[in-house]
């Protein structure tokens, strides 16, 4: 049965506005097939596909920056989310999870960090690229601090025989310790 004039007009208006056959079914109570037939008859092309969720065209660094806020003294705080379990500051880019400080490190150095990334400044939870260091960078920096403070150790190995050149690490205040021994202790704590 042909549609009445009023319905055809309403249908034409709906198609002209980009409405789908399904929308016609919902709004005008006609079947999807009928809507399709009238679409062809009225000379409207296929309904536009629903716009796919537009892919984020921002780079990783640009996305990262949207979650940071500069603070006094050249530091930066994270306004993004934190992983509930451990509090790691993180964000998602193109469906992948990234840790805020690892990306900050890459922004400054142009390479992936080795080991854990920490902020070496005094600003709590800083994510500024110029404040973060990976394992080798942190060890270099803290060794320099130890030299200045006179807390360096002349020993070439620890009491367990770990080579200092490879395993010596420093606390924030420049106090040396054996990284290999610390790792063993930490592992024992985890399994305990």
Please report whether residue 14 would count as binding Zn ion according to CB under 5 A: no
Structure tokens given for 160? 């367990």
Number of residues this chain uses to bind Zn ion (CB under 5 A): 12
Site string for Zn ion, 141-160 (x = CB under 5 A): -----------------x-x
Interface residue with Zn ion among 24, 30, 75, 101 (CB under 5 A) is 75
> DSSP secondary structure string, the chain?
-PPPHHHHHHHHHHHHTT--HHHHHHHH---HHHHHHHHHHTT--PPPPPPP-PPP-S-HHHHHHTTEEE-GGG-EEE-SEE-TTT--EEEEETTEEEEHHHHHHHHHHSSPPPS--EE-SSSTT---GGGEE-HHHHHHHHHHHHHHHT-----SB-TT--BHHHHEEE-TTS-EEEHHHHHHHHHHHHH-
Q: Which is nearer to Zn ion, 108 or 162 (CB)?
A: 162
Q: Which is nearer to Zn ion, 14 or 126 (CB)?
A: 126
Please report whether residue 182 would count as binding Zn ion according to CB under 5 A: no
What is the smallest separation between the CB atom of 89 and Zn ion, expressed in angstroms? Answer: 13
Q: Which is nearer to Zn ion, 33 or 122 (CB)?
A: 122
Please report whether residue 127 would count as binding Zn ion according to CB under 5 A: no
What is the smallest separation between the CB atom of 150 and Zn ion, expressed in angstroms? Answer: 22
Q: Which is nearer to Zn ion, 30 or 178 (CB)?
A: 178
Range in contact with Zn ion (rule: CB under 5 A) among 33-41, 63-71, 78-86, 116-124? 116-124
Please report whether residue 100 would count as binding Zn ion according to CB under 5 A: no
Please report whether residue 180 would count as binding Zn ion according to CB under 5 A: yes
Q: Which is nearer to Zn ion, 99 or 180 (CB)?
A: 180
Least Cα distance to 104 among 67, 145, 143 occurs for 67
Give the gyration radius of the chain's Cα atoms: 31
Cα–Cα distance measured from residue 74 to residue 97, given in angstroms and rounded to the nearest whole number? 26
Positions that interact with Zn ion (CB under 5 A): 75, 121, 123, 126, 128, 131, 158, 160, 162, 178, 180-181
């Amino acid at each position: 049965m042909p549609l009445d004039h009023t319905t055809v007009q309403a249908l034409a208006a709906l198609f002209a506005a980009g409405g789908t056959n399904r929308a016609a079914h919902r709004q005008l109570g006609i079947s999807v097939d009928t809507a399709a037939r009238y679409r062809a008859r009225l000379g409207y092309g296929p309904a536009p596909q629903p716009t796919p969720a537009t892919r984020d065209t921002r780079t990783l660094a640009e996305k990262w920056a949207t979650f940071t806020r500069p603070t006094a003294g050249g530091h930066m705080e994270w306004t993004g989310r934190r992983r509930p379990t451990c509090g790691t500051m993180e964000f998602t880019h193109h469906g992948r999870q990234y840790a805020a400080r690892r990306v900050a490190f890459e922004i400054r150095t142009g390479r992936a960090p080795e080991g854990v990334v920490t902020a070496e400044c005094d600003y709590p939870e800083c994510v500024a690229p110029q404040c973060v260091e990976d394992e080798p960078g942190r060890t270099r920096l803290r060794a320099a601090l130890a030299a200045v403070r006179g807390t360096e150790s002349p020993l070439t190995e620890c009491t367990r025989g770990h080579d200092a050149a490879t395993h010596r690490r420093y606390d924030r205040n420049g106090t040396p310790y054996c990284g290999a021994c610390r790792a063993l202790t930490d592992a024992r704590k985890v399994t305990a």
